[in-house]
Amino acid sequence: MYGKKILATVIAGELKGDLSYQEVEALIEVPKLDTHGDLSFPCFSLAKVYQSPPQKLAQQLADKLSHPLFAHVEATGGYVNIKINRVMGSKEILKNMIAGGPDYGNQQKNGHITIDLSSPNIAKPFAMGHLRSTVIGNSIGLLAEKLGYQVTRINHIGDWGTQFGKLLYAYTKWGDEQSVKQNPIQELFRLYVQFHDEAAKHPELDEEGRAWFKKLEMGDPKALDLWQWFRDESLKDFKTIYNRIHVDFDSYDGEAFYNDKMERVIKLLKEKNLLEESEGAMVVQLDEYDLPPCLIQKSEGTSLYATRDLAAAIYRKETYNFDASLYVVGREQTIHFQQLKAVLAKMGYGWAEDIVHVPFGMILKDGKKMSTRKGKVILLQDVLDEVNLLVAEQMDAKNPALKDKEAIKQQIGAGAVIFHDLKNHRLHDVEFSIEQMTSFEGETGPYLQYSHVRACSILEKVKENPTLWIQGLEDDESWKVLKQLAAFPAIVEKAYNEKAPSIMADYLLKLAQAFNRLYGKVKVIDHKEYLPVVFGVQNVLREGLRLLGIQAPAKM
Ligand code: ARG
């Protein structure tokens, strides 16, 4: 909201302390109708303070407000509406933004944030569900870095647990080395699915699986060798996907990494008298939190997902001394993270409150949940291949002579997939649609990338220093774009605070739409006073896309 701070200062001054600056600022809004102006101050809270009708107060306040930045002040229905002086406003917005360059919107906050993201399970294909965690977590990390925080991205690979017992059993029973070597993930997944099919008919197989996991936890060399091999093959496969969507991690310490760190956790829990026996297993009771007991050790002595997460949380605090520890993990694990926090709090760790679960909804296909167990799963690899094909067709038609086509196609394909996810609020379920992803129009990644290319090509044609052309701009189309540009720093902050990249995605769509309307109206080549606006749009689109983890090529 450009001009908000000035308006808040002027109003707070007039009210002589009856409302504080902060109270006034929090009340200021954008009028519903464009014709009502740029900013609006509702007088309903004031009416309570002064025991006087809001209409009257709005009129009194409107008569007194004056500042060079306000072109027009008017009272309507209990609101004071303000139109900004566009000549003054546009020059200031453009100067600010051009001076900032790619750093426009940066802040220097202090603190270390760890983000647990992606965290797929080995020996299973990387499915669309893990994509959500990867792209949401990556964007939250980029937003945090823009605000000045130090960020550590941790891929808590699911490489331990009873499912590996099942897999080891299945491999020794039905698998062979040759097939795994040829097609590791697919073959391991096939064995996993086969185990579940067989176990449905022969429940005693679950016992076999548990026994193999016990062997693994006891360090049996054959079990460990196989496990290591499965892990290596899976990671190789995951890394090719991460390269395709340009995501990097600082650590791949997965669940197995905490094997030698759990004994200490159990010892601490015992010392603090928190561990209780329940039906042969060891648990921490969480009645006072209205939560089910947290299972720490099974009756056969093997560890659990929660035990490994406890060890991981403590390890992260000791290693990174985080100020916040985020876990970008599906909504279905909400109770698990509530339990994790509660147990840490019971252990006396004040930092338990810095543990933040960032949940998200499911990916649906035709309105239904996708499940790995039954083998009905959409593979990210296949999606990326298909998306690239569709993108390539459109690009070949639009711009057959494009140089560096292969690299750019990859960028557009990845952008299509990432944006399709991030444009939805993370808590919403996402309906999976390749057609929607790859359209070059509407609310898509390629549409934004294309708008950026448009801005780039204008700047390339005109070849002049935009700073020299800064002038006051008064037309409606430019003003809409300028107001959007001015909002960028606040959007970065809001998107991070709410851990919601969709706020940035929405914002970029509105910016691109406003820019494309302006582009349809004026010929920048003949009206160079618009050059700084185009420059600003290029800058903010590129930076905004970067914050979503999407690249913005200059041509496409
Ligand atoms: N591997 C788990 C899954 O696929 C997600 C792990 C999330 N991170 C954690 N620290 N628990 O469900």
Residue 412 maps to which CATH number? 1.10.730.10
278 touches 287 (CB < 8 A): no
> Closest ligand 1 atom, CA of 312?
10
Mean pLDDT of 167-171: 96
Eight-state DSSP code of residue 463: -
pLDDT band at 303 (very low <50, low <70, confident <90, very high): confident
Mean pLDDT of 422-446: 92
Query: Which of 133, 156, 322, 372 to probe ligand 1 with, by most ligand atoms within 8 A of CB?
Result: 156
Measured by CA distance, the residue closest to atom 1 of ligand 1 is 158
CATH number at residue 71: 3.30.1360.70
Measured by CA distance, the residue closest to atom 11 of ligand 1 is 309
At 382 the pLDDT is 87
Distance between Cα 86 and ligand 1 center (Å) = 51
Q: Which of 52, 84, 116 is the last residue of a domain?
A: 84
Mean pLDDT of 163-186: 91
Distance between Cα 330 and ligand 1 center (Å) = 9
Mean pLDDT of 123-143: 91
> Closest ligand 1 atom, CA of 121?
1
Residues with C-beta less than 6 Å from any ligand 1 atom: 116, 119, 121, 156, 158, 309, 312, 327, 329
Q: Which of 40, 66, 84 is the last residue of a domain?
A: 84
Distance between Cα 237 and ligand 1 center (Å) = 18
* 228 lies in some domain: no
* 8 lies in some domain: yes
Whether the predicted pLDDT of 151 surpasses 90: yes
Distance between Cα 156 and ligand 1 center (Å) = 6
Is 0.80 surpassed by the pTM of this model?
Answer: yes
> Closest ligand 1 atom, CA of 130?
4
Rounded to whole angstroms, how far apart are CA atoms 467 and 484? 19
Q: Which of 23, 51, 84 is the last residue of a domain?
A: 84
* 338 lies in some domain: no
Strands (DSSP E) found in 175-234: none
* 429 lies in some domain: yes
Distance between Cα 116 and ligand 1 center (Å) = 8
Rounded to whole angstroms, how far apart are CA atoms 160 and 304? 9
Report in angstroms the alpha-carbon separations of 280 from 109, 335, 336, 343, 527.
Answer: 49, 23, 21, 20, 80
Q: Residue 457: which residues within 8 A CB-CB, separation 6 or more?
A: 555
pLDDT digits (tens, 9 = 90+) for 243-257: 999 999 999 999 999
Distance between Cα 177 and ligand 1 center (Å) = 28
Per the structure, the complete domain to which residue 68 belongs is given by: 4-84
At 28 the pLDDT is 97
| Chain position carrying tokens 């499965």 | 230
Query: Which of 121, 249, 333, 343 to probe ligand 1 with, by most ligand atoms within 8 A of CB?
Result: 333
pLDDT band at 374 (very low <50, low <70, confident <90, very high): low
Tokens of 483: 């107001």
pLDDT band at 468 (very low <50, low <70, confident <90, very high): very high
Distance between Cα 263 and ligand 1 center (Å) = 21
Eight-state DSSP code of residue 329: -
Give the number of other Cβ atoms within 10 Å of residue 316's Cβ.
Answer: 21
Rounded to whole angstroms, how far apart are CA atoms 125 and 382? 11
Question: Domain total for the chain?
Answer: 2
Give the number of other Cβ atoms within 10 Å of residue 430's Cβ.
Answer: 20
Instruction: Return the closest-CA partner of residue 192 out of 370, 375, 377.
Output: 375
* 12 lies in some domain: yes
Distance between Cα 436 and ligand 1 center (Å) = 29
Beta-bridged to residue 281, according to DSSP, are 278
* 452 lies in some domain: yes
* 375 lies in some domain: no
Measured by CA distance, the residue closest to atom 5 of ligand 1 is 119
> Closest ligand 1 atom, CA of 129?
4
* 210 lies in some domain: no
Distance between Cα 232 and ligand 1 center (Å) = 18
Distance between Cα 420 and ligand 1 center (Å) = 23
Query: Which of 118, 119, 155, 305 to probe ligand 1 with, by most ligand atoms within 8 A of CB?
Result: 119
At 162 the pLDDT is 84
Rounded to whole angstroms, how far apart are CA atoms 553 and 410? 11
pLDDT digits (tens, 9 = 90+) for 387-420: 999 999 999 998 899 988 999 999 999 999 999 9
> Closest ligand 1 atom, CA of 309?
10
Distance between Cα 166 and ligand 1 center (Å) = 19
